[in-house]
């Protein structure tokens, strides 16, 4: 088993960096409240979408052994759980829809930036398309994450 240490450091650094931001900015009670939601909508959604991307031939990961989850690096899959916690915690509570769409656009650009960095590092290879695939995916998925979070919030108030 050969571990590519520079690539491992990049993947681990990404995961630990997102985790650090979560611990610094989100209070402990909010982390406990958002944990399972973020695992489902962060890690679960990332795992599902990335498996689809790999199997239809859009992307491919390299240098991920031995810390892989099938064809995906386990560290990036796990890192999207605290990323969704940050996304939900800082979600603007204002009623204006343009603010929400600007926030979604900002997070989609963040997602695109992660794809660009991973692509430049040689960890993520885009077979068809490019990093814009992640931007579009984020722009489509983030509104659904917000709707699902608000749906669960209204359901818990009804109980």
Q: Give whole-number Cα distances, 9 to 43, 75, 131, in Å.
A: 20, 10, 21
Q: Which region among 38-47, 71-80, 106-115, 133-142 has the lowest average model confidence (pLDDT)?
A: 71-80
Write down the pTM of the prediction. Answer: 0.89
Phi and psi at 73, nearest 5°, equal -75, 130
Q: Which region among 65-74, 86-95, 143-152 has the lowest average model confidence (pLDDT)?
A: 65-74
Identify the bridge partners of residue 69 per DSSP, sorted by sequence position.
72
**Mean pLDDT across the chain, nearest whole number?**
90
Work out the average pLDDT over 23-43.
94
The pLDDT score that the predictor gives to residue 3 is 58
Comparing CA positions, the residue from 110, 86, 83 lying closest to residue 26 is: 86
For the record, the structure tokens of 111 come out as: 């997602």
């Amino acid at each position: 088993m050969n571990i590519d240490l520079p690539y491992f450091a990049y993947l681990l650094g990404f995961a630990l960096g997102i985790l650090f931001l979560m611990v610094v900015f989100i209070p402990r009670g909010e982390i406990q409240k958002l944990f399972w939601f973020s695992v489902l909508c962060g890690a679960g959604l990332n795992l599902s979408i990335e498996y689809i991307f790999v199997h239809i031939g859009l992307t491919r990961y390299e240098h991920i052994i031995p810390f892989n989850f099938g064809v995906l690096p386990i560290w990036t899959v796990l890192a999207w759980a605290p990323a969704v916690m940050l996304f939900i915690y800082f979600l603007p509570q204002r009623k204006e829809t343009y603010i929400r769409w600007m926030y979604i656009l900002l997070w989609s650009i963040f997602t695109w930036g992660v794809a660009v960095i991973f692509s430049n590092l040689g960890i993520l290879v885009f077979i068809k398309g490019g990093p814009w695939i992640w931007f579009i995916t984020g722009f489509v998925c983030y509104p659904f994450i917000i709707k699902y979070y608000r749906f669960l919030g209204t359901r818990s108030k009804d109980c």
